[in-house]
Structure formats: C-alpha cells, structure tokens
Structure 1
C-alpha cells in the first residue's frame, strides 16, 4: 500500500508544532523522505495539518498522520481517501472522504474532532477536505 506519513514535532518545547516532516511509503520499500521540490508542493498540506494539533514533543514520531487513497474501480481516480491519525502503532482516530458516484467530487466526508478542540464540527470536515485536496495534488 502506498501512503504519505506526516509527522509534526515541537522541537523547541513551546507547546506547539514547529517542524513538519513528510515520508512516502510504497509497498515493501524503505520510506522515502521528500525532496525540496516535494516540500514546496506540500506546504499547504503541512500548514493545514498543523491546525490539527496532532504533534509530538521533541523529536518523537509516535503521533503522525497516514493518508492514502483507494481506487477499487481501478479507473485511475480515487473513490476514497483515508486519514489515520496514529498514536504509535495504534490508530487514535480516523477520517475519510468518499466519491460516491465516481465523478471526481467527494460527496461524503466522515470525520471526528481532527483539530482536537473538543468538538466534531464543520471546521473538522473542512480541515479533512483541505488535507485530502492537497494530498491528491501531490499524489497525482
């Protein structure tokens, strides 16, 4: 399975993430750190992810996001994009978007409180939508 791993870290100890790292994983291959060109394309995704407040103290990597698309119809367009927010090996919570009629528009957005503000609301759905939009730009 191919996915993107996003890791935010609070290296300064200020109580908020100040570093975002990205890794591409592909099947059984070793993870690939992104290049500087990739990083420029991922800036919007990183900024949106920082709003989710899912980060590690110091240089830890236990908290991270794995984002991947699925194309069961094999027509080349994703019908589902899944976001798994991990706490180590455990998925702490999930979000997903679905294109129900395979027209390129995601009609269904399933999310919990992805920005960790204590409420699952429209803001969370908008953050999921933005993360997916940016992910699809770089995975295309």
Structure 2
C-alpha cells in the first residue's frame, strides 16, 4: 500500500504548527521525502491539513496523518480516499471520502471532528473532501 505521511510540528512553541513534513511510503518503507516540486503541488493540501490542528510539539512525529487511496473495482481510478490520524502507532481517528458510482464526485463522507474544535460538523466533512481531492492531484 502506498501512502503519504504528513507530520506537522510546533517547533516555535507558539501553540500552532509551523513546520510540515511530507514523506512518501510504500508498504511501510520510506520511498522519499518531498522535493521542492512536491511541496509546490502539496501547498493547498498542507494549508488544509494545518486547519486540522493535528500537530506535535517540538520535533515530535507521534501525531501524523497517513492518507491513501483505494481502487477496489481495479479500474484504475480511486473510489475511496482514507485518512488515518495517528498518535504514535495507534490510529486516533479515521475519515474517508468515497465515490460510490465512480463519477469523480465523493458522495459519501465519513468523518469525526477532524479539525479538533470539539464538533463534528459540515466543516469537518468539507476538510475531508478538500484533503481527498488535493491528495489525488498529487498523484501518489
């Protein structure tokens, strides 16, 4: 399985993430860290991810996102994008966007409080859709 690992860090100690790292994995093996070209393509994704407030203090990497797509129909187009928000090796919570009829539109959004504001609402679903769409544009 291929996935993008996203790590946000608050290195300044100001209470908000100020550093983003992107790592590309295949079968839990690091393939590469994001290049400058990748970072340009990931800019919108990174900005949306920062709104999720899922970050580490200092240089920590325990809190991170693993995002990946699935193609159960094997037609070459992803029907599902899954987001796993990790706290170390444990998945703290999950979200997903599903294209039920393979028309390129996500009809089913499964999410909890992905922006950590204490409410699971339309904003959370919008963030999941935005992250899923932006992830698919990266092409990993």
What TM bracket, shorter-length normalisation? over 0.9
Secondary structure at the residue paired with 2:46?
A: helix
Give the Cα–Cα distance (whole angstroms) in 2 for the partners of residues 66 and 31 of structure 1.
Answer: 14
Secondary structure at the residue paired with 1:30?
A: strand
70 and 113 in structure 1: CA distance in 2 versus 1, 3 angstrom threshold: same
1:91-111, Cα deviation, whole Å (9 max, x unpaired): 000000111111111100000
Give the Cα–Cα distance (whole angstroms) in 1 for the partners of residues 7 and 29 of structure 2.
Answer: 19
* Residue equivalent to 2:40: 40
1:112 aligns with 2:105: no
Give the Cα–Cα distance (whole angstroms) in 2 for the partners of residues 29 and 114 of structure 1.
Answer: 26
Superposed, 1:1-140 pairs within 5 Å as 1-27=1-27, 29-139=29-139
Q: TM-score, normalised by structure 2?
A: 0.97
1:24-73, Cα deviation, whole Å (9 max, x unpaired): 00136434101100000000000000000000000000000000000011
Give the Cα–Cα distance (whole angstroms) in 2 for the partners of residues 112 and 5 of structure 1.
Answer: 20
Task: Count the aligned residue pairs.
Answer: 140
Give the Cα–Cα distance (whole angstroms) in 1 for the partners of residues 27 and 66 of structure 2.
Answer: 14
Q: CA RMSD in A?
A: 1.0
Q: CA deviation at 1:85?
A: 0.2
Q: TM-score, normalised by structure 1?
A: 0.97
Q: Which runs of 4+ in 1 moved over 4 A?
A: none
